[in-house]
Every structure is written in structure tokens, then in C-alpha cells.
């Protein structure tokens, strides 16, 4: 079992930055094209000038295809990864080079302070401690909203991984829009309050302490 996401946080005041509502996982079932949904939602956000980072997986109509395509949402680059698809265990594995590249691309969203970061899926590889498991903690710890997907059979593993923190979303575009609108509204209010506090502090009259020599 992979370490909990809390154990992967950076050391600096990470817990105070985490908003459980902003760590969201779409719960999907067999037969649902989760990749179509995530790609469409990412495109929709980018079309309205939101800064979106991370990766999505392009929909693949052939479940037995040897390769699939990941899309870097910041650069719009497309790159292939090999799928080792075992029907019984449903394990998909990335080769080491591509996996390292994928991790780097997701972590890059922290430096870019994106509005939202996508991580394609939480699945067998992440449950085993591999895959993209190490990417969730840094993104969430830096206060960046994160959206991923988890199959219904893995929900319990996801909750163990997050320590019970986070939000589960129904696999519906309307639900994603409502979640994002609430997230964006909350973050705008927090930022407005922070700016007001900074302005109040900058405009405060400072009275120096003067010694009395009498």
C-alpha cells in the first residue's frame, strides 16, 4: 500500500495550505469514458482563460491498444506511453522514462501556480506506491486545487491514501462545473481578503517610539 498523501507533504506548513474541498476525485464506473470527460472539462476551463496544469489522457477507443497518449495541459504537448494491459489485474504501467517526465510535468504546475491541476487517474499503480502517487502531495500541499479520477472499486484505497481528506465527485460534467465554480468563488474571496489585509497593513499609521529625555 502506498504511503498516505499527508506523509508526502513538503515540510513547510503544508497542512495549513490544504483545502479538502479542493482535493477532488471523480468516481467512475466501467463503461464510462472518464478521459473524454476530463479532456472536455480541461478544454472548457482553458477556453475561459483559466491557468490549467498537469496531464490528461486522450480517449482511446481500443481497450487493447498498446499505447495511449498523455497531454500536457500547460504546453499542449502530446506524448505516448506504453500500456501493459493485463485484463485480470487491469494494470497499466508507464515505462520509467515517460513516468519521470509525467511526474515532472505535473509538479511543474506548482511553480506556475496554476488555477487547477489535473492528474489522470488514481489506480493500481498508485495504490502499489508507484505511478503518479508522489505527485498528489506537493500539488495539494501548495494549495493548488487538484482533480483526478478513481474507479469506484478503488474509492476505499483512495480514501486511505488521502487519510479521508478530499471530495468525491459524481461523473457528470454538471457536477464538475458546480465544484469548480464553488472552488473558484471561494478562492477569489480568500484572495480579495488577503489583498485587503495587505492594503490595510500598508496604509496603517506607524507611530515610532520616542524616548523621553526629560
CATH code of residue 134: 3.40.50
160 by Cβ neighbours in 10 Å (0-12 / 13-18 / 19+) ranks as middle
- pLDDT tens by residue, 21-77: 899 999 999 989 999 999 999 999 999 999 999 999 999 877 677 778 999 999 999
CA separation (Å) from 76 to 79, 86, 105, 203?
Answer: 10, 29, 11, 43
Residue 183 in domain: no
126, 97 contact by CB (below 8 A): no
**Residue 98's pLDDT is what?**
86
Dihedral sign, CA of 110, 112, 114, 118?
Answer: negative
Could you give phi then psi for residue 28, rounded to 5 degrees?
A: -125, 165
**Residue 22's pLDDT is what?**
92
Cα(212)–Cα(198) distance, integer angstroms: 33
Cα(192)–Cα(16) distance, integer angstroms: 19
Residue 79 in domain: yes
Domain count, the chain: 1
**Residue 97's pLDDT is what?**
83
Query: Range of 94's domain?
Result: 5-171
Residue 127 in domain: yes
Amino acid at each position: 500500500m502506498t504511503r498516505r498523501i499527508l506523509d508526502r507533504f513538503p515540510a513547510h506548513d503544508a497542512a495549513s495550505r490544504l483545502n479538502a474541498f479542493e482535493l477532488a476525485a471523480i468516481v467512475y464506473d466501467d463503461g464510462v469514458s472518464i478521459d473524454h470527460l476530463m479532456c472536455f472539462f480541461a478544454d472548457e476551463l482553458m477556453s475561459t482563460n483559466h491557468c490549467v496544469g498537469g496531464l490528461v489522457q486522450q480517449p482511446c477507443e481500443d481497450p487493447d491498444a498498446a499505447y495511449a497518449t498523455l497531454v500536457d495541459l500547460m504546453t499542449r504537448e502530446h506524448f505516448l506511453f506504453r500500456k501493459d494491459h493485463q485484463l485480470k489485474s487491469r494494470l497499466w504501467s508507464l515505462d520509467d522514462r515517460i513516468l519521470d517526465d509525467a511526474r515532472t510535468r505535473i509538479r511543474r504546475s506548482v511553480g506556475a501556480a496554476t488555477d487547477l491541476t489535473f492528474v489522470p487517474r488514481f489506480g493500481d499503480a498508485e495504490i502499489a506506491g508507484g505511478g503518479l502517487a508522489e505527485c498528489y502531495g506537493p500539488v495539494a500541499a501548495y494549495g493548488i486545487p487538484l482533480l483526478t479520477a478513481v474507479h469506484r472499486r478503488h474509492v476505499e484505497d483512495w480514501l486511505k491514501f488521502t487519510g479521508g481528506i478530499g471530495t468525491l465527485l459524481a461523473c457528470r460534467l454538471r457536477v464538475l462545473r458546480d465544484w469548480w465554480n464553488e472552488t473558484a468563488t471561494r478562492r477569489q474571496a480568500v484572495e480579495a481578503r488577503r489583498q485587503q489585509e495587505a492594503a490595510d497593513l500598508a496604509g496603517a499609521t506607524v507611530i515610532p517610539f520616542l524616548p523621553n529625555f526629560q
